[in-house]
Structure 1
């Protein structure tokens, strides 16, 4: 996902020619991934009920309310920093899709 110096811990769980799976763990409020841009489309599977802040380059923040086990997907190319807004440890699984979609 990113090559940054955030305080959240990213642990690579699986990587092959089709996908890269990373667990991102935030131990406390304010932990962050660091600024990054995804090279690939990806999906996120939260492992908690709570809120993450998504900081954008223009200085704005989107508040993302997440539900344990309910995935969402995003397209490649958006610069952002993900920040925990929770008073507890939380984590999500990120799956980056390394293959181009099949033409139909």
Structure 2
């Protein structure tokens, strides 16, 4: 498994901001989000999401767009595209 590169940008009393860079096929590994969070796509992100119970789905998050999720989301995120992908995750403390 090729690991996505995580670069922490901010970690203060209110937020944690991390940039994630994925080579094609790179993944985060299974994780559970302990805080509400927002993702902002830097590049077009072709994501494969593995979810509990064996569900797998693919989504495309276009560059410059964002989405928000609540605490408790559990998944493994893989770059399912053939180009590098990057996004910024903002966790709300």
Q: Normalising by structure 1, what TM-score?
A: 0.84
Structure 2, unpaired ranges of 5+: none
Q: Please identify which structure carries the higher strand content.
A: 2
Paired residue total: 93
Structure 1, unpaired ranges of 5+: 99-104
State the 4+ residue runs in structure 1 displaced beyond 2 angstroms.
none
Aligned to 1:23: 19
Write out per-residue CA displacement over residues 52-104 of structure 1, whole angstroms, 9 at most, x where no aligned residue: 01101211112121111111000010210001011111110000001xxxxxx
Cα RMSD after superposing both structures: 1.4
Work out the CA distance in 2 between the residues paired with 1:90 and 1:78: 21
Q: Secondary structure at the match of 1:45?
A: strand
